Structure 1
Amino acid sequence: PAAILAARLYRCFGSAEDLEWARKIYDWQQRSLVDPATGFVWDGMNRTGDGRIDKDWKFTYCQGVFIGAGVELWRVSGEPGFLRD
């Protein structure tokens, strides 16, 4: 949700800092929570206090939020890579 909000703030107010944050959040999520083999988006990390990705928690909303962030970033940047993701 934070990447979506930052991209929408950029679209509304034009602050380059908001766009930068949207990209940073999206890039971190893609590097940290997206399974490169399947594209599945895990819910989070450190639930058990060990700093690892929690691969036991699987929720459909995680897929939707990541897709939504990609769509919002595509809308403000026009970069097709966000839609491919």
Structure 2
Amino acid sequence: MLPKDCNAVIKKSSWPKHKIFTFLQKAGPVEEEEMFRVFNMGIGFVLIVSEDFANSIAKKLSRYGEQVYKIGRITTGTGKAILK
């Protein structure tokens, strides 16, 4: 959950998409926004961290075998996720 005075700006091209999502979207057809809302488009876990610590946290997670992608940023807003 985001605070009501923040937005999450998500860059849709910042992680690889699984082919199953393209198939489901076309077969439905399902709107892209609905695909993100229902399936998260393959993003399983999100951490929101200070930019100051992002690289060191990413390195540590990678050492444990996790795939890490910087998918967006937090801005002043109204509690929404914005897909770009």
Q: What TM-score do the two structures reach when normalised by structure 1?
A: 0.27
Higher RCO (Cα < 8 Å, 6 or more apart): 2
Which has more radius of gyration? 2
